[in-house]
Structure 1
């Protein structure tokens, strides 16, 4: 490997370029990769999300039947994990209705498709202020704020192999909208998830969220191996540039497993970027509706493109069975 250095007049002081900041220097001064390229990666497909993408593309699944079919399509294209939100079948608005989750999960399981089900537990922490000058009362129509147990009703009933745990509070791009996940709420949710035997996927939007995840793990609330999802480029969390990604990666403890993704046109470039940085990948219509300029994608299209890119890089695409073993998942009976 050729080392690339900044051009300095004094050659006795050579500083590596930013692309080498994620290298460690050992006592003997040899340089080693902190997170080597991941030669075997798994693909997560986030099939629908909770945003307004369904108004921009008719390929975004809305009904339980469509969402289940999207999970099956993604699995057949090479995704080991299907990340699932549900929507109101009539309006497309995001929903927490356990009945919708129940139908989606039943259809996927009854299809005998081998895919790891990952249910979101991120909803129920949304606060929208009244206005900048009069924040209270809250905007009742837009605020969705419930307790830890209510956020996990569908998880504790359906027992997916994975569910998400959004590890932090942040401002979203919309004015006066705050995603709230307090330490107390997260501890309560983590205990319930752990008791259910479900693996939490810790959603990390910024460095402080990773700090909180470490705290929960140190308290014994998250079992090894800890699974992290780095969510890059989502306003206003961590930007999706390389330096920000590597700052996040370099703060992930040894022995943890992580994936990384970005949104919009950066989704597919992040497939390569994530595995080069030692991680796994996520694609899907939750984060991006385009396959290319002017070409709307399906979930299967995005998974196939990601799998092709990994194959071109000589990176193996892991099967659900391999991921279960890697993450020590409890498969439902």
Structure 2
């Protein structure tokens, strides 16, 4: 079995597969690597291939993002999913207190929990989170797969956030498998919403991105590039090469969405390797492992010098069969794993801002 030995400017790490086929990492030594001749190293019974590539941008401490509510899960799935503005604010603030440098925000109809693009709800939530903590407030422009591009992106010119998500390509966004897990749903919209995703494309065309990316940059909002599959990296490279997308870039690998790349370690290594080849040291990244792979892929990412996202948008569970009772519970677990497994600490909001080159809380429009 041959695997890549991932080497970064934070430290190099060996990787092996244990008997139960889980990837394990061990820190070899603290070092910075530039170029290296390809060699093979025999470790136990496994061959690890050392590969040379330009190094991505890394921060000594890992940035933990918390995605508080999202638009994927429906209220029937968990009583802990925050729906009202008050609850979303509270969950975001407590997650920041637990160690999240960035809070990623969607809003929902407070009566039904249905995802919405209501700008006044966004403003109300963002203002109150800003008043109560210093976390970077990252607003979604992904919204929900059912929303138009114009609806989803209106938060940028209206609120001018420090950072917002920017989806780098179109995908089939299938939520309909959730229907098989429940006999009945609390709200009528839930069934229609989930079933409708069976015949739905989440559109992020080249034409729309040609407009959206410059809009972000004109308001001083850093786009976090949401990459759902390998081809989306090439889309980003296309816009960099045309001078539309400024570097360095920050990528969020979104893994495990039905219609995108699956959430496993081999695919993560391939995504990082491809990004290295395309962008050299002009990118940093974070990882979403949707569902049960949330902590596993987050831990792998921070081990490789990357960053991690957790939160009830991406997984409703804290461990197998046990619902997370709050976003903070997941943040605390990711912080603990980061410190114990990778040897890194977690970044403060100010460290995250400095590393990402954000404009600061004083320069937003809320």
With the length of structure 1 as denominator, give the TM-score of the two structures: 0.83
CA shift digits 1:47-92 (9 cap, x unpaired)? 0000234221121111111111111011000000000011111110
SS class of match (1:117): strand
How far the C-alpha of 1:156 sits from its partner, in A, is 1.6
How far the C-alpha of 1:271 sits from its partner, in A, is 1.6
Which residues of structure 1 form unaligned runs of 5+? 1-5, 7-16, 127-142
How far the C-alpha of 1:39 sits from its partner, in A, is 4.6
Cα 1:96/1:322, change in 2 over 3 Å: same
Contact 1:38 1:315 in 2 (8 A): no
Residue 100 (structure 2) pairs with residue 79 (structure 1): yes
User: Within 2, Cα distance between the matches of 1:152 and 1:146?
Assistant: 6
Contact 2:74 2:113 in 1 (8 A): no
Query: Superposed, which structure 2 residues align to 1:95-244 within 5 Å?
Result: 95-111=116-132, 113-123=133-143, 126=145, 143-147=146-150, 150-173=151-174, 174-244=197-267
Contact 1:240 1:262 in 2 (8 A): yes
User: How many aligned positions are there?
Assistant: 298
The residue aligned with 2:14 is none
Cα 1:153/1:75, change in 2 over 3 Å: same
User: Within 2, Cα distance between the matches of 1:178 and 1:153?
Assistant: 20
How far the C-alpha of 1:332 sits from its partner, in A, is 3.1
Residue 287 (structure 2) pairs with residue 260 (structure 1): yes
SS class of match (2:251): strand
Which residues of structure 2 form unaligned runs of 5+? 9-32, 40-49, 175-196
Residue 340 (structure 2) pairs with residue 312 (structure 1): yes
SS class of match (1:61): coil
Q: Please identify which structure carries the higher helix content.
A: 2
User: Within 2, Cα distance between the matches of 1:81 and 1:59?
Assistant: 20
With the length of structure 2 as denominator, give the TM-score of the two structures: 0.76
1:275 is aligned, of 288, 296, 302, to 302
Contact 1:122 1:166 in 2 (8 A): yes
Cα 1:27/1:97, change in 2 over 3 Å: closer
The residue aligned with 2:5 is 20
User: Within 2, Cα distance between the matches of 1:269 and 1:290?
Assistant: 13
1:299 is aligned, of 322, 327, 330, to 327
How far the C-alpha of 1:203 sits from its partner, in A, is 0.2
SS class of match (2:361): coil
The residue aligned with 1:325 is 354
How far the C-alpha of 1:244 sits from its partner, in A, is 1.3
User: Within 1, Cα distance between the matches of 2:129 and 2:118?
Assistant: 17
Cα 1:167/1:295, change in 2 over 3 Å: same
The residue aligned with 1:66 is 87
SS class of match (1:175): helix
Contact 1:82 1:116 in 2 (8 A): yes
User: Within 2, Cα distance between the matches of 1:47 and 1:322?
Assistant: 21
> Alignment RMSD, CA only?
2.2
User: Within 2, Cα distance between the matches of 1:179 and 1:68?
Assistant: 27
Cα 1:157/1:33, change in 2 over 3 Å: same
